[in-house]
């Protein structure tokens, strides 16, 4: 081969995927498989993970690097969901699992915003593109659901109802743009511990099923693009468990209320606290109130809904 060809950059594919907040999360009692039946409404927000899959020599195997905020606490081995996603695409297609993965993080780590699931979704789409595997959205979603309950939503994005483990999705019509502020804690909360605490707290009602609740108000608020009505409809069954494990989260939500939030809740299994704001300026004001009160290790603002997995390069 000529020197010119050697100097060319290796082929690569870059995919962007969003983090999420659960607008409503209702959970039933733990199933035999260790999962909880959920009835949830996801909204993707404009905090993005970016995964680049780059061609490497045959036999080189998988390698992984990470950049961005909190990159130092992300595992760089086969326990990383992006690594496992590359293996899943290779297994499913019969391709050799030779790829260099790079994750640029934009979603809080272990924060209840599905950053790891977003990495898995992005790696699935990036490897499919790099290897020209031609997998359908349906196949990618099936592989994603095996990797984690939140992975299918990171592929889909926007706003969707999730049932089953949260992986059976139905898109929801939402109008307009909602403004969010997020209070992030340096120390994450493992999702299994929050669900375990939830089980303990609901032990007096062992057979409870995920109350479908009355989410008509929430759906109407989304359709109308009405942030005030949406703020009133926010609800998370896991919140009491997360606050029980991290009592300081109560104060985080109180500060958001003092700053006039339209509604505040723990995001997913926490410990990130989400606050819905009237405008972008208001979201910045809530974030500033958290910083002034010293109740968050970092504060982030974003808008929702945001698109799902997208090839960007």
**Segment interacting with ligand C5P, rule: CB under 6 A, options 34-42, 93-101, 237-245, 290-298:** 34-42
* Interatomic CA distance for residues 126 and 47, integer angstroms: 18
Determine if 165 is a binding residue for ligand C5P (CB under 6 A): yes
Write down the least CB distance from residue 119 to ligand C5P, Å. Answer: 12
Q: Determine the Cα–Cα distance for residues 53 and 70; give it in Å rounded to an integer.
A: 21
Q: Taking the CB of residue 262, how many other CB atoms lie within 10 A of it?
A: 21
Residue 163 binds ligand C5P, judged by CB under 6 A? no
DSSP state of 307: B
256 labelled binding-site residue: no
113: annotated binding-site residue?
yes
Tokens read off for 208: 């409870």
User: Residue 22: beta bridge partners?
Assistant: 42
- Segments in 95-136 forming alpha helices (H): 115-130
DSSP string, 38-91: EEEEEEEEEEEEEEEEE---TT--EEEEEESTTGGGS--STTSHHHHHHHHHHH
What's the length of the chain?
Answer: 313
Per CB under 6 A, 301 contacts ligand C5P? no
Stretch of 10-18, 118-126, 144-152, 172-180 lying at the interface with ligand C5P (CB under 6 A): 144-152
35 scored as a contact of ligand C5P (CB under 6 A): yes
Tokens 């992300």 identify what position?
A: 74
Tokens for 42, please give them: 């996801």
Nearest distance from C-beta of residue 34 to ligand C5P, angstroms: 6
Give the DSSP H or E segment for 263.
strand 263-266
Neighbours of 253 (CB within 10 A): 21
CA distance 43 to 281: 20
For the bound state, the minimum distance from the C-beta of residue 22 to ligand C5P, rounded and expressed in Å, comes to: 11
Known catalytic residues are: 20, 150
Q: Does 227 bind ligand C5P (CB under 6 A)?
A: no
Interface characters, 180-219, with ligand C5P (x: CB under 6 A): -----------xx--x------------------------
Q: Which is nearer to ligand C5P, 35 or 303 (CB)?
A: 35
Choose the stretch contacting ligand C5P; rule: CB under 6 A; options: 33-41, 57-65, 201-209, 214-222: 33-41
| Per CB under 6 A, 102 contacts ligand C5P | no
Q: Is 36 in the site for ligand C5P (CB under 6 A)?
A: yes
Q: Does 120 interact with ligand C5P (rule: CB under 6 A)?
A: no
CA atoms within 13 A on the CB side of 126: 35
Stretch that binds ligand C5P, among 35-43, 99-107, 122-130, 203-211 (CB under 6 A): 35-43
Binding residues for ATP: 108-118
Rule CB under 6 A: which residues touch ligand C5P?
34-36, 38, 148-150, 165-166, 191-192, 195
């Amino acid at each position: 081969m000529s020197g010119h060809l050697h100097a060319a950059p290796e082929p690569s594919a870059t995919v962007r995927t969003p983090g999420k907040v659960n607008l409503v999360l209702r959970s039933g009692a733990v199933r035999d498989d260790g999962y909880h039946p959920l009835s949830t409404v996801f909204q993707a927000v404009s905090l993005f993970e970016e995964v680049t899959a780059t061609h490497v020599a045959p036999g080189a195997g998988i390698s992984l690097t990470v950049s961005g905020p909190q990159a130092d606490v992300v595992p760089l081995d086969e326990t990383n969901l992006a690594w496992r996603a590359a293996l899943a695409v290779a297994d499913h297609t019969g391709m050799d699992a030779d790829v260099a993965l790079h994750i640029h993080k934009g979603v809080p780590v272990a924060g209840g915003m599905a950053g790891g699931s977003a990495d898995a979704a992005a790696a699935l789409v990036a490897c499919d593109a790099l290897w020209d595997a031609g997998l359908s959205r349906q196949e990618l979603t099936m592989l994603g659901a095996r990797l984690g309950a939140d992975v299918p939503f990171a592929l889909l994005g926007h706003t969707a109802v999730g049932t089953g483990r949260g992986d059976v999705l139905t898109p929801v019509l939402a109008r307009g743009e909602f403004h969010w502020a997020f209070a992030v804690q340096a120390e994450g909360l493992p999702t299994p511990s929050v669900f375990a605490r939830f089980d303990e707290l609901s032990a007096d009602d062992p057979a409870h099923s995920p109350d479908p609740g009355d989410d008509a108000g929430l759906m109407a608020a989304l359709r109308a693009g009405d942030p005030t009505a949406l703020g009133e409809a926010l609800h998370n069954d896991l919140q009491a468990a997360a606050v029980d494990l991290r009592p300081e989260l109560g104060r985080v939500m109180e500060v958001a209320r003092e700053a006039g939030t339209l509604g505040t809740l723990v995001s997913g299994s926490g410990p990130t606290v989400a606050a819905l704001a009237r405008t972008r300026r208001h979201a910045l004001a809530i974030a500033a109130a958290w910083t002034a009160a010293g109740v968050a290790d970092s504060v982030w603002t974003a808008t929702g809904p945001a698109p799902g997995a997208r090839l960007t390069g």
